[in-house]
Amino acid sequence: MTDTLDAYRKTLPYIREWVSYKVWQLRVPGVQVAIGHGGEVLFDEAWGHADVEAGRRLTTTDLFRIASHSKTFTATALLQLVERGDLRLDDTVGTHVPALVAGGSPIADATVRELMEMGAGVIRDGHDGDYWSLQRPFPDEEELLALVLDRGQKVPTGSSFNYSNLGYSLLGLVIAAVSGQSYDDFVRASITEPLGLRNTGPDWDPARADDFVVGYTGFHTARTRKRIDHVDTRAMAAATGFHGTASDLVRYFSQHVIGQGTLLSDHSKRLVQRKAWSATDDAERGYGAGFVVDRIGGRDIRGHSGGFPGQITQSMFDPASGLVVSVLTSAAAGPATLIATAIITLLDAAVADDAPNAVVPDDVDAATFTGRFANPWGVTDVARIGDRLVEIDPSAPAPLDAPTRLEVVDADTLRMTHGNRFGSVDEDVTYDRDADGGVRSIRAGGGMTMEPWTIPTESPAVAAGLEA
């Protein structure tokens, strides 16, 4: 039986190399990645720049806008109020937000639970959602209520899943009404401060402006990126306002693993993590009560993504095993979900006892084979994944879509034992070494020579896509 933690630790060096390549390949201005297991942060790294123009390197403590991660904090706060006996999930929203009753909104009769599960039929962002394009400020409480009262229910309560930022913003008003504190004060006092999450908070914090990363536009309408200013989300903080770091999010989501943490009882965790709705008729992916429900390979996943102007983020955790992955990126259409999914896939491969190739023998140093190699046809990584060697194309969207399995023949030879037989399976990868044992080249697929390759040094603006 594979030792999970040992297999993870053996795989983390390659995860570092794979993410480094994706950051360079996709020209992402800045990326944070943290990985945790069993409540421990195993990996915490940053790439790129927090502010490209200023030349400020990104660190693991710089702050990202984590957007819809906020919904998990809101759901957690609501369940804390339930556990204290101050709130019932079957309370109607109008009980705590009387403006909905006064305005004649049918949303007033929806329950807190239905709003948490995105089943109250609330319109997503209002009929004028241009605040998301920063054409005007995010709504204050008065405008939030006006957006909801203006044809704010698009389908009857309980009829279908409809993701809604306005709905979760209303839940922020519920928390304030029930707790007698502002939403911001309550989540600080009940969640972030007890956990010591010094780099996590419910909205833009101008006092820490220099600690925030700059977000940048995507490549969908231009070949170069532009910076995007931060804004306060005001009455929508409960839906999208939070900021944080990848390592803080790993610590936070570790609290939601069954049997771990002090924020909620396991009963409450199961309530918010069980799937209430599927996103489409045939999808495994769906929604609980503030948590996205998904499956990667054979692993059940919970967590949330976040999309803010110029920043895309993704956190995933396994409520059974305690694996947690958080990826934060500082660009529109940033590859946060791609990276997080790849990391989970690599870690799952690391602990797979039924992988088709042999493990690296105990008397062989796998590091004498691993590395990145290239020729005019492409780039390939020889990577240690757990106790096995695998050939991976880092330029592909996913690292294990078409891996080639490798086995050690001798000190200078690997054999390709399993993989796509349009390639060179059953042939050898041979190593040419210098007098000190360093690799000068390898002869790999198709018998072609490949030489060691490293990511080239570029100016920050070029590396981040701000200049061609």
Residue 47 lies in a domain: yes
Q: Confidence band (pLDDT; 50, 70, 90) for 1?
A: low
Say what the pLDDT of residue 284 is: 83
Task: Report the CATH number at residue 164.
Answer: 3.40.710.10
Secondary structure E strands in 310-420: 311-317, 323-329, 371-375, 378-385, 388-392, 404-410, 413-418
Distance from the first to the final alpha carbon of the chain: 50
Same domain, 379 and 329: no
Task: Please state the rounded mean pLDDT for residues 59-86.
Answer: 98
Say what the pLDDT of residue 270 is: 98
Entry pTM: 0.97
What does DSSP assign to residue 245?
Answer: -
Residue 438 lies in a domain: yes
Q: For residue 406, give its domain range.
A: 366-452
Q: Which of 333, 468, 465 is nearest to 52 (CA)?
A: 465
For tokens 């086995």, the residue is: 407
Same domain, 387 and 292: no
Task: Please state the rounded mean pLDDT for residues 118-132.
Answer: 97
- pLDDT digits over 262-313, tens only? 999 999 999 999 999 998 877 789 999 999 999 999 899 999 999 999 999 9
Q: Confidence band (pLDDT; 50, 70, 90) for 445?
A: confident
Residue 433 lies in a domain: yes
Residue 48 lies in a domain: yes
Say what the pLDDT of residue 280 is: 87
Q: Can you tell me the distance from the alpha carbon of 24 to that of 465, in angstroms, rounded to the nearest whole number?
A: 10
Token pair listed for 83: 């556990």
Q: Which of 216, 228, 249 is nearest to 28 (CA)?
A: 216
Say what the pLDDT of residue 428 is: 97
CB 315 within 8 A of CB 248: no
Residue 262 lies in a domain: yes
- pLDDT digits over 338-354, tens only? 999 999 999 999 999 99
**DSSP-derived 3-state class of residue 406:** strand
Residue 332 CA to chain centroid, in angstroms? 14
Give the DSSP letter string of 146-162.
HHHHTT-B-S-TTSS--
**How many Cβ atoms sit within 10 Å of the Cβ of residue 142?**
10
In the predicted structure, residue 2 carries a pLDDT above the cut 90: no
In whole angstroms, how far apart are CA 8 and each of 37, 155, 326? Answer: 9, 46, 16
Q: Is 17 exposed, middle or buried (0-12, 13-18, 19+ CB in 10 A)?
A: middle
Residue 350 lies in a domain: no
Residues sharing a CB contact under 8 Å with residue 114, sequence separation 6 or more, in sequence order: 120, 157, 158
Same domain, 288 and 435: no
- Please state, for a pLDDT cut of 90, what percent of the chain lies above it: 97
Same domain, 93 and 183: yes
In the predicted structure, residue 376 carries a pLDDT above the cut 70: yes
Same domain, 290 and 371: no
- pLDDT digits over 161-176, tens only? 999 999 999 999 999 9
- pLDDT digits over 407-430, tens only? 999 999 999 999 999 999 999 999
Give the DSSP letter string of 293-310.
EEEETTEEEEEEEEEETT
Cα Rg of the chain, angstroms: 24
Q: How many domains does the chain have?
A: 2
CB 265 within 8 A of CB 271: no
**How many Cβ atoms sit within 10 Å of the Cβ of residue 437?**
11
Q: Which of 347, 328, 330, 172 is nearest to 250 (CA)?
A: 328
Task: Please state the rounded mean pLDDT for residues 431-458.
Answer: 96
Same domain, 218 and 135: yes
In the predicted structure, residue 99 carries a pLDDT above the cut 70: yes
CB 19 within 8 A of CB 33: yes
Higher pLDDT: 316 or 283? It is: 316
In the predicted structure, residue 116 carries a pLDDT above the cut 90: yes
Q: Confidence band (pLDDT; 50, 70, 90) for 201?
A: very high
Say what the pLDDT of residue 282 is: 72
In the predicted structure, residue 151 carries a pLDDT above the cut 70: yes
Task: Please state the rounded mean pLDDT for residues 443-456.
Answer: 95
Residue 343 lies in a domain: no
**How many Cβ atoms sit within 10 Å of the Cβ of residue 136?**
12
Same domain, 322 and 375: no
Q: Can you tell me the distance from the alpha carbon of 435 to that of 451, in angstroms, rounded to the nearest whole number?
A: 17
Same domain, 330 and 373: no
**Across all residues in the chain, what is the average pLDDT?**
97
Same domain, 45 and 108: yes
- pLDDT digits over 16-44, tens only? 999 999 999 999 999 999 999 999 999 99
Same domain, 389 and 297: no
Residue 170 lies in a domain: yes
Say what the pLDDT of residue 321 is: 95
Q: Is 259 exposed, middle or buried (0-12, 13-18, 19+ CB in 10 A)?
A: exposed
Same domain, 401 and 326: no
Same domain, 323 and 403: no
